[in-house]
Structure 1
Amino acid sequence: MDKIATAVELMRENEFEQAANLFNEYIEENPTDPVGYVNFGNLLMHLGDLERAVTFFEKAIELKDSTATAYYGLGNVYYEKEDFVKARENYLEAIKNGLEEADVFFMLGMAHQNRQEFKLALPYLLRAKELTPNDEEVVFQYGLALAQSELIPDAKKVFEEVLTLNEEHSDAYYNLGVIALFQDDVKKAIESFDKALTINPEHILAANGKRVAEEALN
């Protein structure tokens, strides 16, 4: 496995050709081990060669149909292709076969989000949040799914939680502004939109929200 570890490190250093050579050597030496194929698939996907990546992930599954990371890789390929149904199917297979990392739950939740299946996204995004409570993107997307599911008080708490992780998160302030408008607290809405615009003066949605709030106030 030393070659795999070295190749993964080379990938992190953007030494893709060297990484590919090592993965290829590992596959030649261990042709029935799915690990080499999964890692080569990940490299190909990183390089944007999605079709070849599919071939390597499918080969790993052919060798061992319980290779969870191969299903996760396939899920990512289909997610990139915006085929969220197939992405979801493969993420579920990855979980079924023992992958318990936050990433797979997050991506499964996002596959549902992209299909506007907001309530179906919630348990997966919640699980990702439980596994990585300090990941602001995971926490934010969970809050967004709550808001889109019209669970407004819960969404508000989560967006406030995002701000404890990153007090410069303009989108969290924007969404708190929308919630304040929804709750008829126009002054609080303007305050939240202002904070979003202070952080990001180009935040068009916050600018529009502030205009709507000011019109309501006047």
Structure 2
Amino acid sequence: MNVKGFWVCLLLFSLVSFNLAYSQEEYACSGQAKEFGLEGSRLMQQGRFLEAIDSFKKALNCDSKCLVAYLGIGGCYSSLGEYEKAIETYESAIKVIPRYASVFRNSIAAQYMFQKEYEKAISYLKESLELFPEDQQTFLALGSAYYKAGDFLNAKDNFQKALNISLKKNDDATAKVAQDALNAIP
């Protein structure tokens, strides 16, 4: 699997894990914003990224804290290869919804990984861990960044931390990904 494919899978895995961790009421948009968010998600799944961005922006106009809209806009820009716009979207989201800064920081790191800017990705992920020291998704992403940078020792250390935290939190899905990553290190 190529680097971008791996990071897309990791980002999707993180978002699925995020969706399982929080009830829909905590992160989804409400009312009209929810309808625009659902429309944007449908368009995004169809590969109609520019139309999806418009729908997600409408959701934000209705509800400036619509997490799904920020994730959707950033994901669309990333799919279009417009990584800087994705980063700007996620940075804006951190200011508006700081509670989910870890999710957005990991998404920013993924954008840097797509561009093979591993040191920037590592820096963002380390900052995220300062704020959220028990986030197994961030340790997993940091391990991946070190791995792609060729630093297998730090990759192994971070994958192990992701595994340990995942086991402690009974997060079997992340534990499996972390264990598979550990097994892949030469």
2:113 maps to 1:141 = no
Q: 1:99 to 1:148 in 2, by over 3 A?
A: farther
Corresponding residue of 1:198: 164
Give the number of the structure whose alpha-carbon radius of gyration is greater.
1
> Pairwise CA RMSD of aligned residues?
2.8
Find the residue that maps to 1:167 and give its secondary structure.
coil
Q: Give the TM-score taking structure 1 as reference length.
A: 0.55
2:55 maps to 1:90 = yes
2:184 maps to 1:212 = yes
Structure 2: stretches of 5+ with no match in the other structure: 1-24
Q: Which amino acid aligns with 2:120?
A: D
Cα distance, 1:105 vs. partner?
A: 3.9
Q: Percent identity?
A: 15
Q: 1:165 to 1:134 in 2, by over 3 A?
A: farther
Cα distance, 1:194 vs. partner?
A: 0.6
Q: Which amino acid aligns with 2:56?
A: Y
- Asked if 2 retains the 8 angstrom alpha-carbon contact of 1:74 and 1:87, the reply is no
Cα distance, 1:212 vs. partner?
A: 1.9
2:38 maps to 1:77 = yes
2:73 maps to 1:111 = no
In 1, Cα distance between equivalents of 2:152 and 2:113: 18
Matched residue count: 144
Cα distance, 1:74 vs. partner?
A: 4.4
In 1, Cα distance between equivalents of 2:52 and 2:35: 7
Cα distance, 1:128 vs. partner?
A: 1.4
Corresponding residue of 1:181: 147
Q: Give the TM-score taking structure 2 as reference length.
A: 0.62
- Asked if 1 retains the 8 angstrom alpha-carbon contact of 2:118 and 2:146, the reply is no
Q: 1:128 aligns with which of 93, 102, 105?
A: 93
Cα distance, 1:129 vs. partner?
A: 2.2
- Asked if 2 retains the 8 angstrom alpha-carbon contact of 1:118 and 1:149, the reply is no
Cα distance, 1:158 vs. partner?
A: 1.4
Find the residue that maps to 2:93 and give its secondary structure.
helix
In 1, Cα distance between equivalents of 2:91 and 2:65: 10
Flag the structure with more relative contact order, 1 or 2, with Cα contacts below 8 A and sequence separation at least 6. 2
Find the residue that maps to 1:126 and give its secondary structure.
helix
In 1, Cα distance between equivalents of 2:76 and 2:91: 14
Find the residue that maps to 2:134 and give its secondary structure.
coil
Q: Which amino acid aligns with 2:36?
A: G
Cα distance, 1:100 vs. partner?
A: 8.6
In 1, Cα distance between equivalents of 2:80 and 2:135: 23
2:103 maps to 1:153 = no
Corresponding residue of 1:164: 130
In 2, Cα distance between equivalents of 1:149 and 1:74: 33
Find the residue that maps to 1:156 and give its secondary structure.
helix
